[in-house]
Amino acid sequence: MSPTAPRIPVIVGAADLRGDGSEPCELIAQAAHDAVPAALLSALDAIFIVGVLSWSYDDLPAEVARLVGAAPGHTLHSEVGGNQPLALIETAARLIAVGQIDAALVGGAEAAASLARASTSGNPPAWSDRPGGPVRLPSSVRGTEEMLRYGIDRPLRNYPLFENALRAELGQSFEEAQRWSGEILAAMSEVAVGNPAAWKPRHLTPREVYEATDGNRMTCWPYTVRMTANPKVDQGAAVVLCDLETAREHGIPDERISHIWASAGAADSTDVLRRATFARSPGLSATLDACLDQAQCTAQDLEHIDLYSCFPIVPKLAALHLGLEKERPLTVTGGLASFGGPANDYCLHAIVAAHRLRGRTLVYANGEYLTKHHAMVIAPTRPARPWAEPAQVPPTTEPVPGYASAVAGRGRIETFTVEHDRDGTPARGWIIGRDDGARRFASVVTDPRSLHALADPDRQPVGQMCDVRGADGLNTSTVPTTQESR
């Protein structure tokens, strides 16, 4: 290769698997061995690992290096976020493009299902014990102090706030919105049936997804268990990249090479209470636009799409922004509910599936609370312009409402959710609203009649009035038991 020849980063191997009781480092190593020949693994000079949560290690990249027979000069164990697999692939590709490395492994795995079984049986797994045990999430990814005070730092309580706001924005009835969620996830479950690495490969009907039953209870309104990601899985994945010249030297044929056409990443405010809106995600939209612009294609030009699906609101927002028909398949794996949601690592599995499918594919990733966004387009053919760096994403400029910590009087509901006990009883709720000065406020709902009114499928609480009072550092709200005019 001449000194001035452009270095073209490519994906030369990708594999994933269901675990069988092995620990995360072993799952990553097994996937890596399945992805490429041993000679290429020994030539790795970078190993990047997606943040593993189910088991902690002193130095996980070094442990993976030992298992695959590599001696990398560059290693990284990422921070938390579902966007991290694409961010790490992008980082590896950039280092290859500028000549800092020749070959890199991006790997990830979780073994939460094995740990759950071990906890039930009382027999801890015989895994690495340095230091061992699950990883504690840093406070920086658990929300702001205000979110923590109100208890809306949990994803299961947070994402419904966006879902209920979107339903109101679109003017949908509860049944229409639920059926749409069911159709999306039922179609995803059909894809999971054909994926050997899927954790729950069972084809569900839309009604089996969205109807609340004893076996599919309501969690946080309007989400049932089958509408949410399944984190209790044992799954591992590995993607290997190198420059095109290195791929040729190792005898990798064209039919095993995928090119990066585009990538982009952005973020919304880490403070959900300071978002411009709950019915859209400016960061999501900007990321998708920048990625497709760099790829010089539209959503209709894509052969495959995988949209993050921890909760239905995420693929809904992405599909709406992309202008996709409702019949368009939105996953190449089976989605986080049926394929599985291995913590931060899901989108690495999406890249594995896209690499196998051999078509131009968009993968969109989401981290935290619709906060961190990343998108990537890969294809078996070369793009018109060789990829060298991610697309620039312009900052969003939507105005953010003021915030009121303490409110007394009347407020208008901007969005809400109600958490249900395991027996299906509405137990506690949250309202995000606007006071008479249009400032946003957060509040909790504990009054049983108000909870039942909010979780009434025949009502639309968004836009209605509520009564708010501050006490003991928290706002509490009650709502009328009859529908008020907007």
- pLDDT of 138: 62
Query: Which secondary structure element, helix H or strand E, spans residue 295, and what is its range?
Result: helix 282-295
Distance CA 107, CA 112 (A): 17
The conformation of residue 340, written as its DSSP 8-state character, comes to -
The yes-or-no verdict on residue 284 having pLDDT over 80 is: yes
Q: How far apart are CA 158 and CA 146, in angstroms?
A: 13
pLDDT band at 135 (very low <50, low <70, confident <90, very high): confident
Mean pLDDT, to the nearest integer, of 43-58?
A: 96
Instruction: Please choose, from the candidates 377, 359, 371, 363, the residue with its C-alpha nearest in 3D space to the C-alpha of residue 333.
Output: 363
Picking from 10-24, 76-90, 119-133, which range would have the lowest pLDDT averaged per residue? 119-133
Confidence at residue 106, expressed as pLDDT on a 0 to 100 scale:
98
Fold for the domain defined by 153-227+277-341+349-379: Peroxisomal Thiolase; Chain A, domain 1 (3.40.47)
Which pLDDT belongs to residue 485? 47
Angle at 297 between CA 311 and CA 238, to 5 degrees: 55
Query: How many whole angstroms separate alpha carbon 39 and alpha carbon 59?
Result: 23
> Across the beta sheet with 234-243, what order do the strands follow?
74-77, 46-49, 103-111, 234-243, 9-18, 258-267, 372-379, 361-367, 304-307
Task: With a cut of 90, say whether residue 155 has pLDDT above it.
Answer: yes
Burial level of 79, CB count in 10 A (0-12/13-18/19+)? middle
pLDDT higher than 70, residue 44: yes
Q: Which two tokens stand for residue 461?
A: 């609480």
Kindly report, residue by residue over 376-393, the tens digit of the pLDDT.
999 999 999 999 999 999
Name the pLDDT band for 395 (thresholds 50, 70, 90).
confident
Residue 280's contacts (CB-CB under 8 Å, 6 or more residues apart) are 166, 169, 317
pLDDT of residue 431: 98
User: For residue 128, what pLDDT is reported?
Assistant: 83
**Among 136, 131, 133, residue whose Cα is nearest residue 115:** 133
| Residue range 126-137: mean pLDDT, rounded | 78
Q: What is the pLDDT of residue 271?
A: 95
DSSP sequence for 440-457: EEEEEE--HHHHHHHT-T
How many Cα atoms are found within 13 Å in the side-chain-facing hemisphere of 369? Answer: 26
The whole-angstrom separation of Cα 233 and Cα 199 is 7
**Sheet strands (E) in 162-257:** 234-243
Mean pLDDT over 152-163 rounds to 96
Alpha-carbon dihedral angle through residues 95, 96, 101, 102, given to the nearest 10 degrees:
170
Domain ranges of the chain: 153-227+277-341+349-379, 409-478
Identify each DSSP E strand in 170-328 by its residue range: 234-243, 258-267, 304-307
* pLDDT, greater one: 314 or 122: 314
pLDDT tens figures, 107-116: 999 999 999 9
- pLDDT tens for 427-485 read 999 999 999 999 999 999 999 999 999 999 999 999 999 999 988 789 999 999 876 54
Read off the tokens for 308. 């993050």
Architecture of the CATH domain 409-478: Beta Barrel (2.40)
Above pLDDT 70, what percent of the chain?
A: 97
Percent of the chain with pLDDT over 90: 90
Q: Residue 130: name the closest of 80, 27, 59 by CA.
A: 59
Q: Tell me the pLDDT tens digit for each residue of 65-90.
A: 999 999 999 999 999 999 999 999 99
Neighbours of 253 (CB within 10 A): 9
Over 90: is that where the pLDDT of 142 sits?
A: no
pLDDT at 200 over 90: yes
- How far is the C-alpha of 236 from the C-alpha of 31, rounded, in Å? 6
Contacts of residue 377, defined as CB under 8 A and 6 or more positions apart, other chains included, come to 260, 261, 262, 263, 291, 292, 294, 295, 297, 302, 360, 361, 362, 363
Residue 2 has pLDDT above 50, yes or no: no
Global pTM reads 0.96
Q: Is the pLDDT of residue 5 over 70?
A: no
Closest residue by Cα to residue 395 from 290, 250, 313, 247: 290
pLDDT tens digits, 212-222: 999 999 999 99
How many CA atoms lie within 13 Å of 147's alpha carbon, on the beta-carbon side?
A: 21
Tell me how far CA of residue 70 lies from CA of 73, 104, 167, 252, 257, in angstroms. Answer: 10, 10, 51, 19, 22
The whole-angstrom separation of Cα 373 and Cα 224 is 25
C-alpha neighbours within 13 Å on the C-beta side of residue 285: 13
Peptide bond into 222 cis (omega under 30): yes
> Residue 167 pLDDT more than 70?
yes
Look over the chain and give the mean of its residue pLDDT values, rounded to a whole number: 95
Mean pLDDT of 250-265: 97
Band the pLDDT of 140: cuts 50, 70, 90.
low
Please report which confidence band the pLDDT of residue 125 belongs to, taking 50, 70 and 90 as the band edges.
Answer: confident
> Taking the CB of residue 452, how many other CB atoms lie within 10 A of it?
16
Nearest residue to 337 (alpha-carbon basis) of 235, 192, 176, 163: 192
Torsion of the alpha carbons at 210, 215, 218 and 220, rounded to the nearest 10: -100
Residue 182, token pair as written in the block: 């069911």
pLDDT of residue 484: 57
